[in-house]
Structure 1
Amino acid sequence: MKIASIIFALASLLAVQSTIKLDKANSTITIAGTSTVHDWESEVSIFNIEGTKSDNNITGLKVSIQVKSINSGKSLMDDKTYEALKEDKYPNIVFEAQQLSITGNKVSGSGQLTMAGKTKTVALNGKIISDANGILKVEGSNKINMKDYGIKPPTAMFGSIETGEEVTVKYNIKLNY
């Protein structure tokens, strides 16, 4: 009888936990910033998200962004971005969170963001657009100061054009679970 109870308890636990899978076709990540000339925005084309969703939590979340997939549509700016992020040595930007909490229409928590070889704890606060029928839609943004990660904001034209040191990462993500 005890064995049957244990098996039932484990089966129930596993039933409420689901691996989340990124719906890439319906997800976007963009990076926006400023410069002395104009505001700019770059799209991320290669990224992955992994983790597990249970009732009101997301655990073991890992977001990985391929630096070379950050694209502004301007090759000089993209090259400066890759150089600033030390892409040759650190080809990925990674965010990992042990646990995020879902409360109402919000997802929040903190995790470790690693860029250009430096890791810092950052807060994540997103908005749940929908959580039904095995689909979780989340959107939000985070401001990041590049200097916190030892990244020198890119410049061009012998330093006459400078980017601001703060960027905003915007995400609109669709996950299946």
Structure 2
Amino acid sequence: MRPYSTLMMFAAILLISIGVNAQSYQLNNEASTLNIDGTSNIHDWTIKAENTGGNLSLDFDDSSLEDIKQLEFTVMAKSLMSGKSGMDKNTYKALNTNKHKQITFKLQDVQSIEKVSTGIYNVKTTGSLEIAGTKRDIKLDFKLKSSSNAITLTGEHKLNMTSFGVEAPTAMFGTITTGEDVVVKFESQFNN
């Protein structure tokens, strides 16, 4: 056997024995939820995202999560529904949905992955969030649960909408005003 072919065989065996494998997943919109909770001078409110999508790519080493290679998440802006047509109309106007059709998050960096128990991890990341055409870097922390057929990300994140150039919607000629801060709560299921 030539030294070159011996070296190639050794390298192949080494790669196989390391056991790291990348797995890709697609967001399951039907099994996922994303709610935006906010306040007003009258009552608190919730908007639900009806149309979401995304991709997730993970590296596992012997069934243990090693790294997140890709995480992209998209909300169709006009799929945000409160159950009240007047509020939805004001929301779409504030988000300028005719021009900016999507709200997107793209992973930039993973700060830490902490194993809590078998298949459950606390993850700290940074990423780029785009709302109404304005991009901001944010820190996004979530719990990742891995099972045989799905990955579920669960978390929440507080946002000040004015930092994205979005004015808090008003109604009834300005007598109803909403707060600038909202809390985004998500449970996103990805399947391969």
Q: Please, what TM-score do these two structures have when normalized by structure 2?
A: 0.84
Q: 2:79 aligns with which of 69, 73, 77?
A: 69
Q: Which moved more, 1:85-94 or 1:15-24?
A: 15-24
Unaligned segments of structure 1, at least 5 residues: none
Q: Any conservation in 2 of the 1:155–1:162 contact (CA below 8 Å)?
A: yes
* Per-residue Cα deviation, 1:64-120 (whole angstroms, up to 9, x for no partner): 110000000111100111110111111100100134343213121100001111111
Is the counterpart of residue 90 in structure 1 residue 100 in structure 2?
yes
Is the counterpart of residue 117 in structure 1 residue 133 in structure 2?
yes
Task: Specify the SS of the correspondent of 2:98.
Answer: coil
Identity of aligned residues (%): 33
CA distance in 2, matches of 1:13, 1:99: 24
Unaligned segments of structure 2, at least 5 residues: 1-5, 60-64, 116-120
Question: 1:10-159 residue pairs with structure 2 within 5 A?
Answer: 16-54=21-59, 55-100=65-110, 101-104=112-115, 105-128=121-144, 130-159=145-174
Q: Any conservation in 1 of the 2:57–2:71 contact (CA below 8 Å)?
A: yes
* Per-residue Cα deviation, 1:118-165 (whole angstroms, up to 9, x for no partner): 11111111123x323242222110010000001100001111100100
Q: Give the partner amino acid of 1:102.
A: I
Shift of 1:34: 0.4
Q: Which moved more, 1:162-171 or 1:104-113?
A: 104-113
CA distance in 2, matches of 1:102, 1:89: 37
Structure index of larger Rg: 2
Q: Please, what TM-score do these two structures have when normalized by structure 1?
A: 0.90
Q: Any conservation in 1 of the 2:122–2:143 contact (CA below 8 Å)?
A: yes
Task: Specify the SS of the correspondent of 2:87.
Answer: helix
Task: Specify the SS of the correspondent of 2:166.
Answer: coil
CA pair 12-147 structure 1, distance change in 2 beyond 3 A: farther
